[in-house]
Amino acid sequence: MLALWLEKNQISLRDLPQPKKPNEALIKIRKAGICSTDLELVKGYYPYTGILGHEFVGEVVDAPDKTWVGARVAGEINAVCSACEACLNGRRTHCENRTVLGIVNRDGVFAEYTTLPLDNLHRVPDSVSDEAAVFTEPLAAALEIQQQIQIKPTDRVLLVGAGRLGQLIAQILALTGCDLHVVARHVHQQNLLTARGIRLIAEGEIQPRKWDIVVEATGSSDGFNLARKAIHPRGTLVLKSTYKGEMNVNFSSIVVDEITVIGSRCGPFEPALRLLENGEVDPTVLIAAQYNLSDIVKGFERASQTGMLKVLVETE
């Protein structure tokens, strides 16, 4: 099969054997999405060698349970052992022995085929297009915020960052009815938000120490510093992106102000699919370009451009 291989910070197309793993489903990839994690892995964010990619919609072509064959699916990225302390206590995404699709010790989805355990798979409703279903994983990650904290209509919520993930977070936070404002740097990001009635705010207009909840989705030290200044004492700061290298953080001020800091990553797939099925969110507005798998290297070049939204890869 054709696949995108990462090794020593270089990506290249390779002809590789079709994957086969005992007790896992074989999935034909229909569409996959390039995300910031993929781009950072190429830069050396984490020492990974293998097939990249973890956002996908595909079709099961073989499985231990034949009732799955022919199903259109999205898949959770953490394959777990179900036996370690974390798994047994309900923290499966923190399994001590986990492999992570296209990120840690498991080949990903920028290929014609991939494999995953059946426990990782979720059937995509017929009414949800491939273009929407490919966003299931990042949409679930956006939803994880509401799994971790309660957001009330009376809350003043600031979202810093309106890129690929930030746009999805904004759509989901808007559904809560909270007093939401978003910092968006690029005009096309701003236009997408205003089209949905989501209010923008310029950095200079942000009142310091006035916001109940601040979600940081830039992955930059500047974004973190802006978010930290905005949160009021006893407020909640949600970190929705990873940071390259080390950052200087004044933890004394966080202690004095009694700030709750929450790291947030993987989220629930079934609620994400229901939102797509009910048309409550529309991630397809984020699609900037689509490339065939044979042109995926060009797709990565496009996705790495400043302010670029979602670039999809299709195998058919």
Which pLDDT score, from 0 to 100, does residue 316 have? 73
For residue 315, CA distances in Å to 41, 179, 249, 281 come to 22, 41, 44, 25
Residue 56 near residue 74 (C-beta atoms within 8 A): yes
Tokens for 265, please give them: 């990553």
Amino acid at 28: K
Q: Is the pTM of this model over 0.85?
A: yes
| CB 165, CB 141: distance < 8 Å | yes
Could you report the average pLDDT of every consecutive run of 10 residues in the chain (316 residues)?
Answer: 96 96 96 95 90 98 97 98 96 95 97 98 98 98 96 97 96 98 96 97 96 95 95 97 82 95 95 98 97 97 94 92
47: burial class by Cβ within 10 Å (0-12, 13-18, 19+)?
Answer: exposed
The pLDDT score that the predictor gives to residue 143 is 97
User: Which pLDDT does position 246 carry in this prediction?
Assistant: 80
Q: Which domains does the chain have, with CATH numbers?
A: 2-123+282-314 (3.90.180.10), 140-263 (3.40.50.720)
User: What is the model's pLDDT at position 106?
Assistant: 97
